[in-house]
Amino acid sequence: MIFPWGTEKLEELEELPCSCPICSGFTAKELKNLEEKERVRNIALHNLYVSFSEMKRIRNAIRNGTLWELVEQKASYNPALFDGLRVLEGKESKEWLERFEPLSKPGALMYTGTHTVHRPLVYRYQKRLLERYRVHSSKYVVILPETTKPYSRSYLERFRKIDGDIIVSSPFGPVPLLLDEIYPIAQSVFPRELDEESRRLSEESLDQFLKKYNLKIGEVKRRDMRDIDRERIEAVIDMQFGKGMSEVLLDGEILIKKSKKTGKIRNVFCDGKHILSLRAHDGLFTLKIEGAKIIHQNFPLPKLRVIVKEECKPFIIEGKSVFAKFVVDCDPDIRPFDECLIVSEKDELLGVGRTLLNREEMLSFGYGVAVKTREGLKDE
């Protein structure tokens, strides 16, 4: 008999640990005492119920963005599955899997064991931190332990008074206070006591970060108060869109609008034009059409672009979504749920939207939506 955790022999069961119609209609003893043909038929039906239930569970996990959690749970049922999952912890596997990993998910990242810190989402964060983060003028940093999320609730006032960064030592490795609200840092649940392997990897990641940016641990007081909002915006822009992108997008008079209810950043204006909106659920930016224009003017193909066939132009301009079969090419660094510029084959800006696929998927699929267009650039 098949069960979610593996197979069991009917003759070894005293109870049927299942609530399918077969197991609800028979006791283990009654099922054993059936004639062979009837017993085999009922066991086969039970196995089908369990198989279909598992398929539904997998489909729901894919839709909800919790497939990794499900895989990790299943791996704990069998040593062979556990060994298989450990293979995916290699750098080559992480590099490949990260390309298909969405930028953020509806739910929090849940710790399930030692595998969690090896997920592609964690690998992406650590990689981008080393490639895209910009340290401030001071080469000194303060290392502080984890606290209630977001960490800025506890450390913001101290941060205002120092010259340099506050780095929180977390299961993800180092978390600069300016990045404490982005996915998956603030949207994660870990136990109070980490396993030994996760602790070791976190410490190694912190050491690598300090060496990469030649940082020293220490605290230097400031004479003036720092503009935390501006620094946070710059840090998130670079992590999300690429190193140096903040210098281009914020080249002008910047106006930051906050939520009256929460006091958090909501919208960013440059020279009076609305260029970005900060999403509350994942701490990342939504790109507005005016922001897309700035990127389009300052960065060549294929930066942040999805290139579509000429025949799609009138539909995209009107705000229609982009289907995969009409995609000619796109930036290889684009990931699912990334913000993107939608352009023609001549690199004319047509609109801005959010990708649902990465480059490989867009160029492979013959149907389905590749980009959900948010704003089309209507003819002026």
Write the Ramachandran bin of 223: left for phi over 0, alpha for psi from -120 to 50, otherwise beta: alpha
Answer yes or no: are the C-beta atoms of 202 and 175 closer than 8 Å. no
- The answer as to whether 86 is a domain residue is no
- The answer as to whether 285 is a domain residue is yes
Answer yes or no: are the C-beta atoms of 135 and 165 closer than 8 Å. yes
- The answer as to whether 96 is a domain residue is no
Residue 37 buriedness (CB in 10 A; 0-12 / 13-18 / 19+): exposed
Name which of 334, 353, 331, 326 is nearest 342 in CA terms. Answer: 353
- The answer as to whether 35 is a domain residue is yes
SS3 state of residue 223: coil
- The answer as to whether 112 is a domain residue is no
Q: Is the pTM of this model over 0.85?
A: yes
CATH of the domain at 158: 3.40.50.10630
Domain's final residue, options 190, 217, 244: 217
- In the chain, % helix, strand, coil (3-state, to 5) comes to 40, 20, 40
Same domain flag for 307 and 329: yes
Residuewise pLDDT in 10s, the chain (380 residues): 999 999 999 999 999 999 999 999 999 999 999 999 999 999 999 999 999 999 999 999 988 888 888 999 899 888 999 999 999 999 999 999 999 999 998 889 999 888 999 999 999 999 999 999 998 767 899 999 999 999 999 999 999 999 889 999 999 999 999 999 999 999 999 999 999 999 999 999 999 999 999 999 999 888 787 899 999 999 999 999 999 999 999 999 999 999 988 889 999 999 999 999 999 999 999 999 999 999 999 999 999 999 999 999 999 999 999 999 999 999 999 999 999 999 999 999 999 999 999 999 999 999 999 999 999 987 54
Structurally, the chain folds into a number of domains equal to: 4
Pairing of strands 265-270, 273-278: antiparallel
Same domain flag for 282 and 324: no
Same domain flag for 131 and 207: yes
Whole domain around residue 153: which residue ranges?
124-217
- The answer as to whether 88 is a domain residue is no
- The answer as to whether 69 is a domain residue is no
Domain's final residue, options 15, 47, 64: 64
Same domain flag for 129 and 203: yes
Cα torsion through 202, 64, 79, 40, rounded to 10: 170
- The answer as to whether 6 is a domain residue is yes
Same domain flag for 284 and 262: yes
